[in-house]
Amino acid sequence: MAEIIHVEVVYARLERQEVASISLPAGSTVGQAIDASGLLAKHPEIDLAINKLGIYAKLARVDTALRDRDRVEIYRPLIADPKEVRKQRAAEGKEIKQGGGESE
Task: Give the pLDDT score at 43.
Answer: 92
CATH assignment of the domain containing 21: 3.10.20.30
User: Looking at the 3D structure of the chain, how many domains does it have?
Assistant: 1
Distance (Å, rounded) from C-alpha 94 to C-alpha 99? Answer: 9
User: Is residue 95 included in any domain, yes or no?
Assistant: no
Q: Global pTM?
A: 0.73
Within a domain: 92: no
Question: Containing domain of residue 56, as a range?
Answer: 4-77
pLDDT beneath 70, residues of the chain: 1, 78-82, 94-104
Would 83 be classed as within a structural domain?
A: no
Q: What pLDDT, on a 0 to 100 scale, did the predictor assign at position 97?
A: 62
What pLDDT shows up at residue 34? 97
Side-chain-side CA neighbours of residue 22 (13 Å) = 23
pLDDT at position 88 is 79
Find out whether 49 and 71 touch, Cβ atoms under 8 Å: no
